[in-house]
Chain A
Amino acid sequence: MKLKLSKQNKPQFYHGIIIEPAIPDFFTGRIWTRTNTPFPQAKIDNYILHNYFTTKPGITKKSNTIFFQRPHYTCNRCKNENQQEFIHYQCSRCEKECVYCRHCINMGRVTSCTDLITWNGPKPLNHKKHVLDWSGTYTEAQNEAANQIKSSIKLKRSHLAVAVCGAGKTEMLFPGVLHALNKGLRVCIATPRTDVVLELFPRFQKVFPKTTLHALYGNSPKQSGFPQLILATTHQLFRFENAFDVIIVDEADAFPYTFDEALQKAVHKVKKQNAPITLVTATPSPKILNRTKKENWGSSFIPKRYHNHPLPVPIYKPLWSYDKAIQKEKIPRKLIDWTKTKLLNNEPFLIFFPTIHLMELATPLFQQLNESILSVHAEDVERKEKVIRLRNEEIPGLLTTTILERGITIKNVQVAVVGAESKIFTSSALIQISGRVGRNANYPNGDIVFFHHGITAEMDEARNEILRLNKEGFGKE
């Protein structure tokens, strides 16, 4: 079967089957394992026989050029090249040794004997009549940045947009996205966090009522039609190839994206060759800044929030040996006092913990103060619901890990970070956490407290950066 397929890679004039629209709608721009599609296998095989799909092996092996050098593997789906994540095994199907990639195994395993298929039949037409249904207004700074982003997209130039937390980054994207859509281009907005996708999706749906729009994240529901605009987590980008004319990466510095080289390669894989990248972030890493300078990207910078109030500055409060206290089933006094005042004032609060373990120990202790305080972490199934309950003021507060550090907007929220000196709280994480506070125009201030067991350079860096942005936005005060 396989041999027969590879021989037939010449174009044919008469294909002899009628294409079901659902198939190009789904497969255009995607790269999928051959045996694991949402369509019946016989149907897919028939399309492959008629040359509507190109197939390629799941894993490419670059043979050793130097004697005794190990072969070098690349996963064709996730572009992973970390050799430790390629596992050899005795394959019963091929009866020889095969390799699989552990990096993207959660999307269904890709082995060296799996075929990946990409659509090369006729592509669905892009609509060019999109409408922006948005009645909000921009501040001066927002307007400028929005225009800069739009002109960069027009010029097909990559762009870096830096804006403080709560500057209204999402709104700034609207004109650029609308322009691209009306040119008949396909747009992807990628972000590292599922929470951000879930928050952006209803907003975009409302604003672009005439656009087919899909949200893709782990276990997202099946959606029909050909999406011209896609909101996706960066992990879902692995499933696309050569698909987008414009790609926007929101929160470009967030945890998985900075550390995971494969994800960066994924961004380059999913865009068409000359397609521009737009990075949007509040805390650009030096690496990103260097690159934008070197490659001459467009850039825009907003140091002010949309409601024209300065960013809340974090306060340091020592909380010595908090981990030992919590292990002895005691919350330190200062933290209890802080929580009690928030409960008394009826203000919603978020308390960040460095580890899930510590948070789970602390949860019952906090529930003694108020029974309805809940906790969330990355693997929590009810994460979505719990955040919504906090927003609707059904529960007084949430204990959380860094998972809620970005993309969350809750009115008048008060924030405490327990163990701010921990390694996981980098300066950019701390800036993001501080950025949760005072986002609403009616409540521009709020508490952001770093409870610590010793001040770290990262904490100082975060605080200084916030002070610097305030200075830049409001001059000397």
Chain B
Amino acid sequence: MKRYEVSNCLLCNSPMDEPATWKTLLMNLFPRTICLHCEEKFEPYENTDADSMSLYKYNEQMKDFLHHYKFMHDILLAKVFRHQIRQHLVKKKEIIGAIPMHPEKQKERTFSHVDELLKAANISYQSPLEKITIESQAEKTREERLNTPPIFALKANQALKNKSFILVDDIYTTGTTLNHAKHILLEAGAKSVTTFTLIRG
């Protein structure tokens, strides 16, 4: 990764002329990708539950970010939060499990947004699950979400006995997706499953 790879803010396109400091050089931090002004607009989420952690609140700025990343397919934006995601996950001893997309959906989008976030943060991960429904949670009402049929299935030949997992997704709204995934892993014999999302809706 080159240090001056990004010369303009990825969100507002204003030029960033910040000099590299000793700290960024010595600690081998990721270079900045967005300007301070844009960064201020993201509100951090105060975690109350150690089992389901999130980084940011779902405010206007985050809505905009997610729209550009997930629906306008701007994959480069996966790099925006790589520093924060890495900081949170790098020292964890549990296995990082990414929430998968349906293969057909992934073909349509051309990338899996959760995988790309983890790749950008340079975190190694596994995908023990596969998605079996094609419908999206975002299109449903709250009641429909709470009574959904199974969303995920376990992939074949997975040895999960006595292992701990952190499941990673982009957004936690009602928790349906993550609870389904959690349930399946626990049933298959996992020791403990916690969740981590970028956004809390």
B72 touches A108 (CB 8 A): yes
Q: Given A84-B7, A357-B37, verify A111-B74 contact (CB < 8 Å).
A: no
A105 touches B111 (CB 8 A): no
Contact of A105 among B74, B107, B110, B116 (CB under 8 A): B74
Per-position 1/0 for A83-110, Cβ under 8 A of B: 0100101111100001010100110110
Instruction: Point out the residues of chain B lying under 8 angstroms from A111, CB to CB.
Output: 110
Instruction: Point out the residues of chain B lying under 8 angstroms from A109, CB to CB.
Output: 72-74
Per-position 1/0 for A111-125, Cβ under 8 A of B: 101000000000000
In the complex, what distance in Å separates the CA atom of A87 from the CA atom of B111?
A: 13
A98 touches B76 (CB 8 A): no
In the complex, what distance in Å separates the CA atom of A166 from the CA atom of B37?
A: 37
Chain B interface residue count, CB cutoff 8 Å, equals 16
B106 touches A (CB below 8 Å): yes
B109 touches A92 (CB 8 A): yes
Instruction: Point out the residues of chain A lying under 8 angstroms from B116, CB to CB.
Output: 89
In the complex, what distance in Å separates the CA atom of A102 from the CA atom of B73?
A: 10
Contact of A106 among B72, B107, B110 (CB under 8 A): B72
Instruction: Point out the residues of chain A lying under 8 angstroms from B73, CB to CB.
Output: 100, 105, 109
B37 touches A92 (CB 8 A): no
B154 touches A (CB below 8 Å): no
Contact of B111 among A84, A91, A106, A357 (CB under 8 A): A91
B160 touches A (CB below 8 Å): no
Per-position 1/0 for B104-120, Cβ under 8 A of A: 00111111100010000
Instruction: Point out the residues of chain B lying under 8 angstroms from A91, CB to CB.
Output: 110-111
In the complex, what distance in Å separates the CA atom of A113 from the CA atom of B111?
A: 13
Nearest residue in A to B13 (C-beta to C-beta)? A102
Instruction: Point out the residues of chain A lying under 8 angstroms from B107, CB to CB.
Output: 92-93
Q: Given A84-B7, A357-B37, verify A98-B110 contact (CB < 8 Å).
A: yes
Dominant SS among interface residues on chain A? mixed
Q: Give chain B nearest CB distance to A457 CB in angstroms.
A: 22
Instruction: Point out the residues of chain A lying under 8 angstroms from B74, CB to CB.
Output: 102, 105, 109
B153 touches A (CB below 8 Å): no
In the complex, what distance in Å separates the CA atom of A108 from the CA atom of B108?
A: 14
In the complex, what distance in Å separates the CA atom of A111 from the CA atom of B107?
A: 14
In the complex, what distance in Å separates the CA atom of A105 from the CA atom of B74?
A: 7
Nearest residue in A to B10 (C-beta to C-beta)? A102
In the complex, what distance in Å separates the CA atom of A106 from the CA atom of B7?
A: 19
In the complex, what distance in Å separates the CA atom of A340 from the CA atom of B112?
A: 57
B37 touches A89 (CB 8 A): no
In the complex, what distance in Å separates the CA atom of A108 from the CA atom of B72?
A: 6
Instruction: Point out the residues of chain A lying under 8 angstroms from B110, CB to CB.
Output: 89, 91-93, 98, 111, 113
Chain A interface residues toward B at CB < 8 A: 84, 87, 89-93, 98, 100, 102, 105-106, 108-109, 111, 113, 357
User: Can you report 19 A-B residue pairs in the complex whose CB atoms are below 8 A from each other?
Assistant: A84-B7, A89-B110, A89-B111, A91-B111, A92-B106, A92-B107, A92-B109, A92-B111, A92-B112, A93-B108, A93-B110, A105-B68, A105-B72, A105-B73, A105-B74, A106-B72, A109-B72, A109-B74, A357-B37
> What 17 additional pairs, Cβ within 8 angstroms, besides A87-B75, A98-B110?
A84-B7, A89-B75, A89-B110, A91-B110, A92-B106, A92-B107, A92-B110, A92-B111, A92-B112, A93-B107, A100-B75, A102-B74, A102-B76, A105-B73, A108-B72, A111-B110, A357-B37
